[in-house]
Structure 1
Amino acid sequence: MKKLAKPLGSIQPEYDYVVIGSGYGGSISASRMARSGQSVCLFEKGKEFLPGEFPDSLLDASKEMNFIKGKSTSLEKNGLYEFTIGNGINVFKGCGLGGTSLVNANVSIKPEKRVMQDEMWPLALRQDLASFEEGVNRAWEMLKPNPYPENKNGYPVLKKTEAMRKSADFMSAPFGLLDINVNFENKINHVGIKQPKCTNCGDCVTGCNVGAKNTTAMNYLPDAFNHGADIFTSINVRYVKKFKSHWQVYYHPIGIGRDNFDAPLMFVRAKNVVLSAGSLGSTEILFRSAKKGLKVSQRLGMRFTGNGDVLGFGYNNDERINGIGLGKKGTDQIANVGPCITSIIDLREREDLSSGMTLEEGTVPGPIRSLMPKALIAFSRLVGKDTDRGIKDYFKEKLREFRSLFLGAFHGAVAHTQIYLVMTHDDGNGVMKMDDEGKLNLSWEGVGKQEIFKKVSGEIFSATQALGGTKIPNPTWNNLMNYDLVTVHPLGGCGMGESIESGVVDHKGQVFSGESDTALHEGLFVLDGAIIPRPVGTNPLLTISALTERSCKLIAEEKGYDLNYDLVSPSNPVGNEFTGTGVQFTETMKGFIGIGEMEDFEKGFAKGKLENTTFEFTLTIQTEDIDAFISNEKHAGKMVGSMSAPSVCQEALSAYNGDFNLFIQDEGDSERKRMNYTSALISPEGGNYYFEGFKDIYNDRVVDAWKDTTTLFITLYEGDSPAGNIVGKGKLVIKVSDLLKQLRTVKAIHPKSKEEGRKAIGSFGKFFAGNVFETYFKP
C-alpha cells in the first residue's frame, strides 16, 4: 500500500475547499467535495501510518502517547494516542491520517429513532430524517460494515462472544452480532486498495497492522485522493480568518524545525473551510478564531458529552474469554481473539430513553497486555466486587491470578477477563473553554455521579455475575478519584441549533455568523462529532458519517455542484510513489531590503539598513530522492515556508511552489556556481509577490567560502512572477546561531529504514562539502 499524503512542498496557495481533520467527517467531506469537481486540500495533524507501522509493543506504543494537560500550548506535540485530561472527564482519541477510525472498534450501529427525533436537533433535520437515512446508506456503501462470520471461512466462534451470549441470557436481554467495519476476505476493495482479511489478532484499537480494518484510510481518503484531493499530514491548524471573499487557514507544519526559529504561522487561502478536527479540535479552532475576530455563537464549547461512555471489566471469570490481543505475536493465521468488538447486549429499548444503554465486549490490545496482570489484581482489590463466593471458587481464582502473574496475560485470570464498553445517555452538560493562554480546558465536575452511571455499574455487575467473575468499574470511577470518567466518543462543543441562540451551526453544519439569529458564515462548516448536540447512546461513528454525507449533499445542491457517487476501482494502486529517500532541512536568513532599489543588491541592503526595512525568511527545503538530486545537473529541490517584510506587509507572507537549486553551474562564468531560491508569496492582506534569491559561489579568495555560502542576494517582485514590477533588492545572511539550529533540522524523509535515512543524509553532506572543496580548496 502506498502513502496518500503528499510532501509539504506540494501545498498550493489556494483551494476551493480546505478540510481540517481526517476522521469520518473530514474524510467524507474531502471525498465528496473532490467528487464534485472542487480543488480540495486536507490537513491532518497526525502522521500517516500504513499497515505494519502501528505500534506492536509497549515501548513503541509509549512513544505515540500524547498527554494534554495544564498550560502547555506546544505546536509540536503529536502522537497517535492522544489523551486529554479534563476536570471530571478525560478523553482518548486518535491522531493520525484516518483520525480516531485508526484506533476505534469499528462498530457501525444506527441510533434509536427516538434519539434523532429529540428536540435538541434542528427542526430541518427532524422533518427530513429520510435524508439522514440516505446518509446512513451512503456511509454503509463506503465503510462496508458486516458481522463477524462465525463458523464461516475458517473463523471460529469466539470465547468472548459466547460469554456475552451467556450474560445476555442471564440478564434476559437481547444479544446480537454487531456490524463492524472489518474485512474478512482477501480482495481489492471498492476504491482500489488491496486489503487482506482479518486475522483475529485483537489489536484493532492500537492500529490494524494487518490492513483488514476499514478505517477511513482504506476507503474515503483514497477515494478523495483518486478524485484529486491533496492530502497533507503533520499540519497543526491553529485558526481561520475571513478576508474579503475567501478564508485564510493558519497552520504550523510539525516536525520540520520551524519551532527552532520561532517562525510565524503559515496560511493558505480557501473559498470554503470544513472543520473536522473532532469535538475538541474543531471547538478549539473556532475558539482561537474567535479570539482573532471571528464572530461565533456564545454556545461555543457548550453541550459537550462523553456519549455516556463507561469502561468496565468482568475480571477472573470462570469462563475463558481470550480477550487479549497478540501484538508482536500476531501471525497470518486466524487467531482465537477476534476483532475488538463483535457483539452487543442491547438495552436501549426502554420506556425512558435516557435509561437505555448498549453493552459491548472488547479486547485489550497486545502492546499493553503486559500491564494487565498486576493492574487488574490491584483494581480488583481496590474497587472490585466479586459476584460469587465459596472456598473452592476462591482457590480457583487465586490459582488463575498466580498463573497470570507468572505466565503472562494469555494465561489465568487475565485470559478469563471480559472487557466491557457501555454507552448510554449522560446529561450532556460538559463545557469547553479557552483560557487566556490559548489552552482548551474541558470541565464537567461531578458527571460520574449522575444516576445513570450507577445503573450502568449494575448492568456490568449482572453481566459479570453470569460468568462468575469480579466486577471492576473504570479505574477512575471511584470515590478517591471523584468518580471521573473516560470517554472515547467525545461529542458536542459546536452543536447544531435553530439559531445562534441555541447552537453554533445550523442543520447542515454551517457556522452561525452573529449578523442575525440565523445568519451564516459563507463557506465555513463544522462536520464531525462536534455538531452532535446530545449523546446518541451507542457507537457514534455511523451517526457522524450519515450527518456528514447528508450535509455534503446539501452543500453540493446549494452550490450547484454535480456530486457523482459512482464507485469505479482504479486500475493502478492508489497513492504516491516514492522511489528513493529524500532529505530536508529548514533554514533562516535575515537582512535588509531597499524598497524602490531596482538594480544594485549592495545599495539595496545599505538603504534597507538605513531605513530599517528588515527582511527574513524561514524556509524548508526538500529533496524527494537524494540520489536523483545529486545526479541531476540542476540539483533541484522544493521549497516552502514564510517570509517577513514589515515594510511590504505587516504580517508574514507564506511561500509556495518554491524551487531550490544547489551548486548549479553559472551560465555566464564556468568558474562560478550558484544556489538559486525562487518562490511565489501570498500576503494576508490579499496581495501576491514573487521572490528570487541567489548565492554566488566563486573563489576570488579562499576565505570567501563562508561568506559566499551564507549570503543571499534577493529581489522581490509584485505579482506572481518575475515579470512584475520590482519592489526592492537587498541581501540576507545566516547567523552562526541560526546555522547551528539549521543543522538540527536536517532529516531523511520517507526512508525505508534507519540505515537508508543515515545514508541519504551522508550523501547530501558529502555532496555539499565536495562542492565547497572543489570551489575553494582544490588546487
Structure 2
Amino acid sequence: MSTSLTFKETMSGYFALGAIDPAAGVQEGKQNGTTLAMHARVSLDDLDRFLSDPTHLGSLTGTIDFPPLGMGIVANSGVFNLFKPTDDPDTTYMVYELAFQHEGKDYYLAGHKNVRDDHGFDLWSDTTTLYTCLYQGKNKQGPIVGAGILTLGVKQLTDLLSTIEVPGAASLAEKTRAIEKFGAFFAGKLWDSYVIPKFGKQIIDKSHDETLHYDVIVIGSGFGGAITGCRLAEKGLKVCILERGRRWEVKDYPRDPKDAWWWSNEKPAELNGWIDIRAYPDMAVAQCSGVGGGSLIYANIFVEAEPFVFESDWPKEITYQSLKPYYEKTGKMLNVQEVPDNQWPAKMKLMKEAADKGGYGDRFRKIPLAVTFDPEFSYDRPDAFGDQHTKYHINAFGQEQGTCVHCGNCDIGCQVKARNTLDLNYIPLAEQHGAIVKPLHLVQRITPLQNGQGYRVDFNVIDIDRHKLSPGFLNAKKVIVAAGTMGTNELLLRCRDQYGTLPNLSPVLGTGWSSNGDFLTPAIYPNRDISPTHGPTITSAIDFLDGSFKGQRFWVQDGGFPNLMKDAVTGLSKDHHYGHFFSTLQTLVKNKSPLSSIMPWFGQAVDASDGVLKLSRSWIPPFRHKMHLDWNIKKSEKTVQALIDMHVQLSKVTGGEAKVPLTWSVLKNLITPHPLGGCRMGTSSMDGVVDHKGEVFGHPGLYIADGSIIPRAVGLNPSRTIAALAERIAELINP
C-alpha cells in the first residue's frame, strides 16, 4: 500500500492586476496597497512515486485572498513540483499552480521558486520567494493579467511544519518513516544545490563537448560487456570498454591479508580490490571487480538454462531454442570441459555416492566448466597440487594459459591461468580488433547528448597509488550498460532518480530482483577426508530442476573454497620476520586443508524473483544516495528450504552431519553471488526496462547486457545464459 503525505503552506506578497512581470507587480502592488495570499494544501498521494518521479509531481488545492477579485476564492485543482529540472542543470524549480474561477471566468495562478546557488548565501531567499503570474484561462497559455512576488515568512514556515500529515499511517513509526523519507529528500536536494557547489568535491566534469569519441561505449567487462564489446569491435565499430576494477595480473592476485581484497563503492579511491560484498537487510551480494568481471570470481560453471525457464515472463522472441546457437557459440569460446574421469576430487566422488545412496543416481551430472584440464594430471603424484605440474600453452587468442592443478583457488584467481576467464578470450579478441579497455574507470552517470546523436558517459578515474578520483567523460553513439546486476541497477536508478539525466526510464526499473536461490550448507564428516580445497570449486550437480522434490525447482552442487590458510602461511614464510617458523607450518598444510572434513553442499533454486531495488537517501548530512534492496523471504522460503532439506538428506545417507547456518534457521538471511533482474526484458516500458534486443525502452541506442535483464531466477548458475543473451544482443545491433 502506498504512503501519502500532505502539508499546508501560506505565502503572500504584493501583487497587481495589469502587471505582466513579477518585479513590476511588486512595485505596483506597493503603490496600490494590493496583496495576494495563497493558502495551499500540498498532497503527495504516493510518496515513493513522488520521490522517484524526476519532476517530483504532486497536487495542489487551496484558497486565494486577493481583494480585487475576492477573499477565500476556492481552487480545487492545481500542480505542485518540488525541485523540477529545468534546461539549466544547475537550476530547479519549486512549482505552485492553482486553477480557479471568478465571476464565471477561468484563472490560473502560477508561480515558481528558483533553486540555484548564486554568490553569497541565498538558500533562504530562493526557497521562500515565489515569482507569480496570473493567467486568464485554464492554464498558462492564456494572457497574463496580473503578477507579483509571494514569500514565506518564518512564522509561516513554522506553521507549515506543524501541518505535515501522513494519512492512512498505521502507526506512529510508519508516520515517522514517511516524514523522515520526505525530509531526507528535501534536505538532500538543498544540500546538492547549495552546499556541494561551494564546498563539495567536483564529481562530474563540467565541460560541454558533444564530440563523438567512440561508436560504442561498454560499461563493464563481465559476461555482458566483454562479449558485446568483442563482437561489436569485430563488426568494425570503434569500441571503448570502461571497467571500474583493475586489470589483474597473476602477481597481484590477493592471497595475503594485507593484499587488495576489498572493493568499496563508498571509498573506491582507497578500497578498489578483488571482491565487492554488499550487505542489505536479510541479503548480501558478492561480486568481483576487475577486467573480466564476474568471470574472475565465479566457479567456472558454464551451463545452459533449462527450457522451462523461458516458458513465462520472457519476451516471446527469447526461447531456449532461440538461444541454443548462442549457448553453443559461448561454449566454444570458453572451451568448456568436464572434469576428466581419472581426476575426480574427493568431494565429487561424495556427490556421486550421495546421489546413488539417496536414490537419485540418474540425477547426477558432471557440469561443463570453463577450465583447461590436463588428461595426465594425477592426485597420486608428490605435491600433486603444486604449480609445477601445470602445462603452459598459447590459446586460440594468443594468450598463455596453463592446465588445472586442482589447487582450489578458482574464486581468488587461478595462478596458473587454467580457468578460461574473459580476460583470456573475449577481451583480447576485442582488443585485437581495436577495442580500447580502460580499467579503473568508475561510471557515474549517463546523459543523452543534446543533439540527440548519442550519450555522454561521466566517470571517475581511480588513481590507486595516490588514492584519488579524477572526473572525466566520453561520448558515443551507442552505450551498452553491463556493470553487473547490482551495478547496472544502481547506475540507472541514479540516472533516473538522482541526476534526472534519464527521466523516462521504465517505472519497473529495480523490480523483479532475484538471488537465484543460492544456498550453502556445510556438513561435517569426522572420519572422512573431503578436501573441499582441492579440485575445481564446483564439479558436479544432482538435478531436481523438474520440481520433483516438494514441488520446488533446484539443483545441488558440491562446493569448494581456496585454502587461504595455506596461502597465508606460504606468504608469511617468504617475507615475514619469523619466516622459518611459518616455513615449518607450510609443510604441514601443503597437501592437507585444515577444513578437510567439511563438505560444503551448495546449490541454486528458482526463487520468487520479487525483490525491489530502490535509491534511498540518508537523512543526515551529506545526505548520500544509496541503493536499498527491499527483499522478503516469504515467497521464496519453501524453495530455499527444499534445497536445504536435500542437503541434509544427502549428508545423512553418506555419514555426514549437515550444519544449517543460524543465519538461515533463525534469521532467514541469505548471501548470493548470482543476483539477477531489476532491468528485466519485457514487451513495453510497462512490464520491462529493455526489449528482447536489450535496448532500453524510450532511449534508442542505449542497451543493457548483463544479468539484470533476466526476468526471473534460472535456478542454476546463470553465466552462460548471460553470455548467450550478450551474443544475441551484439548480433542484433546494427553498425
Q: Name the TM-score, length of structure 1 as normaliser.
A: 0.59
Q: d(CA) in 1 for partners of 2:256 and 2:238?
A: 40
Q: Please report how far the alpha carbon of residue 143 of structure 1 lies from its aligned counterpart in structure 2 after TM superposition.
A: 0.9
Q: 1:122 to 1:107 in 2, by over 3 A?
A: same
How is 1:619-638 mapped onto 2 (pairs within 5 angstroms)? none
Give 2:472's match in structure 1, choosing from 266, 277, 281.
266
Q: CA deviation at 1:178?
A: 1.0
Q: Which residue of 2 aligns with 1:23?
A: 222
Mark the CA change 1:198 to 1:448 in structure 2 (over 3 Å): closer, same or farther: farther
Pair 1:56-2:245 in alignment? no
Cα 1:352–1:175 shift into 2, 3 Å: closer
One of 220, 237, 240 as aligned partner of 1:41: 240
Residues 346 and 529 in structure 2, CA contact (< 8 A), matched pair in contact too: yes
Equivalence for 1:160: 347
Q: Give the secondary-structure state (helix, strand or coil) at the position aligned to 1:214.
A: coil
Structure 1: which amino acid aligns with 2:599? Q
User: What secondary structure does 2:463 align onto?
Assistant: coil
Q: Aligned runs of 1:325-724 on 2, under 5 Å?
A: 337-350=534-547, 355-367=552-564, 414-436=595-617, 437-446=624-633, 450-474=637-661, 476-479=663-666, 482-513=667-698, 521-555=699-733, 559=734, 561=735
Unaligned runs of 5+ residues in structure 1 are 1-11, 325-336, 373-403, 514-520, 562-779
Structure 2 CA distance for aligned equivalents of residues 410 and 485 of structure 1: 32
**Are the structure 2 counterparts of residues 147 and 256 from structure 1 closer, same or farther at C-alpha, using a change threshold of 3 Å?**
closer
CA distance in 2, matches of 1:368, 1:279: 32
SS at match of 1:463: helix
**DSSP-derived class of the 1:553 partner:** helix
Distance, in Å, in 2 between the alignment partners of 1:193 and 1:468 is 45
For the residues of structure 1 that align with 2:218 and 2:549, how far apart are their CA atoms? 39
- Tell me if the contact between 1:75 and 1:252 (Cα under 8 Å) persists in the aligned partners: no
Cα distance, 1:50–1:317 mapped onto 2, change above 3 Å: same
* Offset of residue 20 of structure 1: 0.6
Match among 126, 136, 150 for residue 341 of structure 2: 150
Pair 434,259 (structure 1): closer, same or farther in 2 beyond 3 Å: farther
2:367 partner amino acid: L
- Map of 2:457 onto structure 1: 249
Alpha-carbon separation, structure 1, partners of 2:668 and 2:634: 8
Q: Which residue of 1 is the match for residue 272 of structure 2? A: 78
Q: Which residue of 1 aligns with 2:372?
A: 183
Q: 1:251 to 1:476 in 2, by over 3 A?
A: same
Question: Could you tell me how far 1:288 is from its partner in structure 2?
Answer: 1.5
Please report how far the alpha carbon of residue 407 of structure 1 lies from its aligned counterpart in structure 2 after TM superposition.
Answer: 6.9
Deviation at 1:475, TM superposition (A): 5.3
Alpha-carbon distance in structure 2 between the residues aligned to 1:478 and 1:371: 32
Distance 1:470 1:212 in 2: 33
Partners of 1:323 and 1:501 in 2: CA distance: 46
Partners of 1:305 and 1:534 within 8 A in 2:
yes
Distance 1:284 1:468, change over 3 A: same
Residue of structure 1 equivalent to 2:322: 131
Distance 2:410 2:727 in 1: 25
Q: 1:138: how far off? A: 1.3
The equivalent of 1:140 in structure 2 is 331
Distance 1:194 1:339, change over 3 A: same
Q: Specify the alignment match of 1:686 in structure 2.
A: none
Q: Do residues 297 (structure 1) and 506 (structure 2) align?
A: yes
Secondary structure class of the residue paired with 1:431? strand
How many residues in Structure 1 have an aligned counterpart in Structure 2? 479
Structure 1 residues 487 and 412, CA, compared in 2 at 3 Å: closer, same or farther?
A: closer
Relative distance call for 1:169 and 1:141 in structure 2 (3 A) is same
* SS of equivalent residue, structure 2 residue 276: strand
Given that residues 256 and 568 in structure 2 are in contact (C-alpha distance below 8 angstroms), is that contact kept between their aligned partners in structure 1?
no
Q: Is the Cα contact below 8 Å between 1:315 and 1:469 reproduced in 2? A: yes
Change beyond 3 A, Cα 1:223–1:270: same
2:706 maps to a residue whose letter is D
Say if 2:255 and 2:568, in contact at 8 Å, map to a contact too: no
Separation in structure 2 between the aligned mates of residue 447 and residue 67 of structure 1, nearest angstrom = 30
Q: Structure 1 residues 353 and 475 mapped into 2: Cα distance closer, same or farther (>3 Å)?
A: closer
Given candidates 198, 204, 218, the residue that maps to 2:424 is 218
Q: 2:668 is paired with a residue of what secondary structure?
A: coil
Whether the 8 Å CA contact 1:447–1:484 is kept in 2: the answer is no
In structure 2, the CA distance between the partners of 1:84 and 1:111, relative to structure 1 (3 Å rule), is same
CA drift at 1:58: 3.8
SS in 2 for 1:124: coil
Q: Secondary structure of the equivalent of 1:459?
A: helix
Mapped partners of 2:285, 2:634: distance in 1: 14
State the Cα distance separating 1:257 from its structure 2 match.
Answer: 8.0
Name the aligned partner's letter for residue 317 of structure 2. A
- Quick check: 1:75–1:236 contact (8 Å CA) kept in 2? no
* Post-superposition offset of 1:194: 1.6
Could you tell me the TM-score, scaled by structure 2's length? Answer: 0.62
Find the counterpart in structure 2 of residue 327 from structure 1: none
Measured in 1, the distance between the counterparts of 2:287 and 2:665 equals: 23
1:73-131 residue CA offsets vs partner (Å, 9 max, x unmatched)? 766542211100011211001111111110110111111111122x21012224xx433
Letter in 1 for 2:213: E
- Shift in alpha-carbon separation, 1:442–1:369, aligned structure 2, 3 A: farther
- Give identity over the alignment, percent: 32
CA distance in 1, matches of 2:333, 2:461: 30
> After the TM superposition, which residues 184-199 of structure 1 pair with which residues of structure 2 at under 5 Å, given as runs?
184-185=373-374, 186-199=392-405
Q: How far 1:191 sits from its partner (Å)? A: 1.1
RMSD: 2.6
- Say yes or no: does 1:288 pair with 2:494: yes
Cα distance, 1:408 vs structure 2: 6.5
Counterpart contact for 1:107–1:539, Cα < 8 Å: yes
Cα distance in 1, alignment partners of residues 274 and 594 from structure 2: 30
Secondary structure of residue in 1 paired with 2:523: strand
For 1:250, the aligned partner's letter is D
Deviations 1:576-609 (A, max 9, x none): xxxxxxxxxxxxxxxxxxxxxxxxxxxxxxxxxx
**Structure 2 regions of 5+ residues with no counterpart?**
1-210, 375-391, 570-584, 618-623
The alpha carbon displacement at 1:419 in A equals: 1.3
* CA shift digits 1:240-279 (9 cap, x unpaired): 000121100000001268986x86x311010000000000
Mark the CA change 1:352 to 1:166 in structure 2 (over 3 Å): closer, same or farther.
closer
* 1:239 partner SS: strand
The answer to whether the 8 A contact 2:549-2:642 is kept is no
The one-letter code matched in structure 1 to 2:732 is L
Alignment-mate amino acid for residue 163 of structure 1: L
| 3-state DSSP of counterpart to 2:507 | coil
Give the whole-Å Cα distance in 2 for the aligned partners of 1:259 and 1:201. 33
Equivalent-residue separation in structure 2 for 1:247 and 1:198 (angstroms): 43
Name the residue aligned to 2:415: 209
2:263 aligned counterpart, secondary structure:
strand
Secondary structure in structure 1 of the residue aligned to 2:659:
strand
Q: Which moved more, 1:211-220 or 1:168-177?
A: 168-177
The 10-residue stretch of structure 1 (49-58 or 25-34) with the greater mean CA deviation from structure 2: 49-58
Task: Indicate the residue corresponding to 2:291 in structure 1.
Answer: 97
One-letter code aligned to 1:146: Q
Are 1:204 and 1:365, in contact at CA under 8 Å, matched by a contact in 2? yes
1:109-124 maps to which residues of 2 (within 5 A)?
109-117=303-311, 119-124=312-317
Question: Which residue is equivalent to 1:743?
Answer: none
User: 3-state SS of the aligned residue for 2:488?
Assistant: helix
Q: Which amino acid aligns with 1:187?
A: H
